[in-house]
Amino acid sequence: MKQSISWIIALSIVYAVRCQEQTIVDTSTQASCTETPIQNPSGENRWGQAGLDTNVDIYLKCGDIIAFKLEWFPVGSENWSDWFVVGVNDVDIKSDGPSLRLKRWWSYFTDHRHKYIICKQNNFKGCSC
């Protein structure tokens, strides 16, 4: 009987220790990502003026755009690009005129319809959007 109680205590300790390793964690500070509906041209020139800077989305949209699509002209054609992934395949193949400055495809947000996947922080409110 004494040995059975010792085993029960030992198993209880192992179970308690093991359960502590499987603690439920708080993920409330993890960003929430959503795909936007189709956006009309923004008329916002800062997308192009930013060049290759990947932080303009934080400034203009208060979040990290991780991927986006552009609708090629004419507007309403439903002729969409493949997904551009920021920092992977999103550098425009054309330079910005005689300055030869490169820019990202999101510079076309100014005059093209577009949609994107954006991740926004749940707790950090460092933006005025």
Q: Say how far apart CA 60 and CA 106 lie, in whole Å.
A: 12
Close Cβ partners of 79 (under 8 Å, ≥ 6 residues apart) = 71, 72
Beta bridge mates, 96:
101
Model-level pTM?
Answer: 0.75
Give the alpha-carbon dihedral of 15, 20, 23, 29, to 10 degrees: 180
- Mean local confidence (pLDDT), 23-35: 86
* Domain boundaries of the chain, sorted by first residue: 32-120
Residue 39 confidence (pLDDT): 98
pLDDT tens profile 59-116: 999 999 999 999 999 989 999 999 999 999 999 998 877 888 999 999 999 999 999 9
Q: Percent of the chain scored above 90 by pLDDT? A: 60
